[in-house]
Amino acid sequence: MIGSVVWVSAQIGIAWVGAGLALSVIVVTPVILAFLWLNRWHRGRPRLLVSAFVWGASVAAFCSIWTQAWLHDLVNVIWGADVGAWVRPLMITPVTEEVLKGLFLLWLLIYRRREVTGVLDAIVFAGLIGIGFSFIENSLYFGRPLMEVVQSGGADTAAVATLGVTLFMRVAMVPFFHSLMVAITAIGIGIAAHRRGRAAKVLPVLLGLLAAIVLHGIWDWAGLASSDQFLIFKVYGAVMVPVFLAVFIVALVLRHRQGRMITEGAEMLVRDGDIASEEAMPLANLRARRRWRADIRRHAGRAAARAVARYQSEASALAIRLTRGTPADQDWLPEQRRIVTEARAGIHHRRAFGRLTPTPFRTQQ
């Protein structure tokens, strides 16, 4: 991430990078909170969630900048600037950005597949990758016109107009753009995560990535390569809004389904001896979970509350896999049961500091 900030600083100066980052924080914070809200039933490991954001803001952003510049120069040399004006938005930018952002998801699929219990988990990780990418990108898009406006004392009407359009686009129209693009790739990753066989995994990943590249190319072409100044708004209304709403609805449905699977699976966990009977109800109720953690924090401190949070998350993952019961889920059950046992042992390790079982709590979900 430091490399990305240094590159942007070289373009507009460190002071304007700071101003751009401050505006970027305002833009990305609600988007972060939205994705974390989606993640409440089965919380990802905090380090992995932070890593997803950092990947988007560092490796994906920095490598995209240099790769695009090099490829664009190469195209200009071989085919000329006129061809380059079309190739960059249609091919170079979409391919480099979506591939580089998607590499983190591919790493999860290969080396941390247990963390992806389904499509919703993949969408959450993807959202944070996209937010990280936008965070750095916005620092340049906000910082440059802001610098021009301030340096001109507000007399440069073109700079004022550019700043206004940029703020409108980035704040009102597409604060979710990069998150949406990676989320489309993530749908393929989430499908592949609980499938057996190489072909069954590769195909949805490639289809998701291809869809993200095509959509990204359409958006960039509309904004950069077309002479129709209103085309980007037409594409926004006809393509981007429907796609966003479709992914948003899918995420809401998956969140509701995830909660239902945990509620049903909690009874199976009690039956199989994976959790205590008094833990089933709070595990299946988000308000009760919060009260459980808050109670533990008061009695035993933050470390104990974190241990309970991890136990809740791992037990939720086990409940999801038990309820869904696909062949791939069955493969993961022994490992997931072992991890739940370890998480529970972490709670017992802290019993000396206070009571770590949930208090009775009655409420409707």
Query: Which pLDDT value is given to residue 352?
Result: 34
Cα–Cα distances in Å, from 67 out to 17, 84, 290?
A: 22, 14, 45
Picking from 170, 236, 179, 241, the residue whose alpha carbon sits closest to that of residue 212 is: 179
* 191-234 pLDDT, tens digit each: 999 887 777 889 999 999 999 999 999 998 887 766 777 888 88
**In the predicted model, what is the mean pLDDT of residues 64-81?**
88
| Residue 58 contacts residue 3 (beta carbons within 8 Å) | yes
Q: What pLDDT is stored for residue 357 in this prediction?
A: 55
Residue for token digits 């409420």? 363
Predicted local distance difference test score (pLDDT) of residue 257: 95
Q: Is the pLDDT of residue 301 over 60?
A: yes
Closest CA to 38 of 292, 320, 250, 194: 250
260 or 158, which is more confident: 260
Q: Of 5, 35, 339, 334, nearest to 175 (Cα)?
A: 35
Beta-carbon contacts of residue 76 (< 8 Å; ≥ 6 apart): 83, 84
Alpha carbon dihedral 252, 254, 259, 264, in 10-degree steps, equals: 150
Answer for the pair 100, 64: CB distance below 8 angstroms, yes or no: yes
User: Is 225:72 a contact under the CB 8 Å cutoff?
Assistant: no
pLDDT band (50, 70, 90) for residue 8:
low
At 363, is the pLDDT very low, low, confident or very high (cuts 50, 70, 90)? very low
Q: What is the mean pLDDT of residues 327-337?
A: 91
260 class by beta-carbon count within 10 Å (0-12 exposed, 13-18 middle, 19+ buried): middle
The overall longest dimension of the chain from CA atoms, in Å, is 73
- Say if CB 1 and CB 55 are below 8 A apart: no
3-state secondary structure of 36: helix
Q: What pLDDT shows up at residue 126? A: 97
Q: Hey, what are 223's tokens?
A: 């904004």
Amino acid at 364: Q
Q: What is the pLDDT of residues 136-152, one digit of tens each?
A: 888 888 888 788 888 77
For CA atoms 102, 105, 107, 109, the dihedral sign is negative
Residue carrying the six token digits 């990204």: 216
Mean pLDDT across 281-303 = 90
Percentage of residues of the chain with pLDDT beyond 70: 91
Are the C-beta atoms of residues 248 and 134 closer than 8 Å to each other? no
Q: What is the pLDDT of residues 253-271, one digit of tens each?
A: 999 999 999 999 999 999 9
Q: Looking at the predicted structure, is the pLDDT value of residue 7 above 70?
A: no
Could you give the CA distance from residue 23 to residue 28 in angstroms, rounded to a whole number?
9
